[in-house]
Structure 1
Amino acid sequence: MAEIALRSVSHQNNHKKLISYLIQTKQQLKVEINKRDNLKINLKVKYFTEYDVLSTKE
């Protein structure tokens, strides 16, 4: 009986570790997506400001 109880606790701990790992991974992905989106926004802003500067020169 004790062995089964130990296995159950071990299983629960593994489950908790897996869940926390998945949550961490999800948060890291969110950070990466935010970085990517910010880069896109920065590129758009840079492009359009350069475009505006060029178009006003003419």
Structure 2
Amino acid sequence: MDNQRVKWVRAEDGRPMVSGVSYDRPSAEQRKTALEAEGAKDIEIAKVKPGQ
């Protein structure tokens, strides 16, 4: 399984954020969609090594 982290910038205050958990690719895509609906900016899915 590939491990993915989601990075984004909060719309409210411009604060950069990163997910606290690792996702599989389909779950990361779902999280990205949810963040887009919330108005987040610069959303990126990044591959990480297990345990990172």
The two structures have a TM-score, normalised by structure 1, of 0.29
The two structures have a TM-score, normalised by structure 2, of 0.32
Higher helix share: 1
Determine which structure has greater relative contact order: mean sequence separation of CA pairs < 8 Å that are 6+ residues apart, divided by chain length.
2
Higher CA-based Rg: 1
Higher strand share: 2
